[in-house]
Amino acid sequence: MIKIGSGLLMGVLAPGAAFGCACGCGIFEVGTSSMFPSDEGGMAYVNYAFQDQNQNWSNNSSAPAANNPDKQIETDFITPGLQYMFNRSWGMQVELPFAYRYFKTEVAPNKVSSTSWGSLGDMRLEGIYTGFSDDMSTGVNFGVKLPTGNDNYDPSMVDRDSQIGTGSTDILLGGFHRGTLSESWRLDWFSQAQLDIPTLTQAQYRPGFELDAAAGVNYRGWALGRANISPIAQVLVSERTKDYGAAANSPNSGYTRVLLSPGIEIHLHPVKIYADAEVPVFQNVNGNQLVSPALFKLGMSYMF
């Protein structure tokens, strides 16, 4: 079977989910600098994202659908999480995502079947350090992704890289920085990066290493009553190595991609609402992989 590819990017400390589909049908979500810790206290959030992978891709261009037995993978992602800063230097974050997936594939010549299922994803536990400066503008995060997601749903039809869970325990390392681009123009900028390193694996399947990075600019000059409205523009970059193991399909896994993401954030303290669309402008995948033309995202957070 030729595997499925092309998810989208998740930021270092933004609400997000690390799901299966190791060659790409998980998501990597980027929030904005306002999602980075800026004071003591907590933030509870829930994030919803949707993507429909229905285009076959090979190298850096579209390819005939007949070259890939997998025809479609449509996923709804729901990610609740909690971030809490114990003081201005140390904090933590935990996420336990859920995904509902529709999968259509060719199970025999000229015979296409489909299935749907929902499952918890892989839990993420991370520590946060922001003690480099008084304004907490620079920070690092470090932690683990645990194999809490289902990685064995209907294995006769759904391959390991199309499961919601990866089955691996991963080390997570990342960092972020935010700053002022122009005070007179009320423009801020932010950047973040994260490395995901599968360390403990099982059932002869090792997902690829992944490096994700993002940079963006947001305008903080709009207001509607008590609500502050910030348009956002972001560039997202992702690099993933091939999967390995007897249960993997190495020739059809791994990718490089660049995405543009316009978005908007509404802040009515203590609530924030965030929405964006993430559109690939460059994709280079190994073998044949399904890609999504866009990912759509909506999130809400509450600070306490």
Q: Can you point out the beta strands (E) in 96-168?
A: 98-108, 111-120, 124-129, 138-145
Specify the 3-state DSSP secondary structure of 258.
strand
Task: For the chain, list the domains and their CATH numbers.
Answer: 8-303 (2.40.128.130)
As a whole number, mean pLDDT of residues 255-281 equals 94
Q: pLDDT, tens digit, for every residue of 90-107?
A: 999 999 999 999 999 999
Angle (CA) 259 56 112, round 5°: 140
pLDDT reported for residue 25:
57
Residue type, 233: A
Note whether 46 and 300 are within 8 A (CB).
yes
User: How far does Cα 228 stand from its chain's mean position?
Assistant: 26
pTM of this structure: 0.90
Structure tokens at 247: 């249960």
Answer whether residue 5 shows pLDDT above 70: no
Give the residues across from 119 on adjacent strands.
99
Q: Which uninterrupted H or E stretch holds 85?
A: strand 70-85
Structure tokens at 186: 């009320």
Note whether 146 and 202 are within 8 A (CB).
no
As a whole number, mean pLDDT of residues 222-247 equals 94
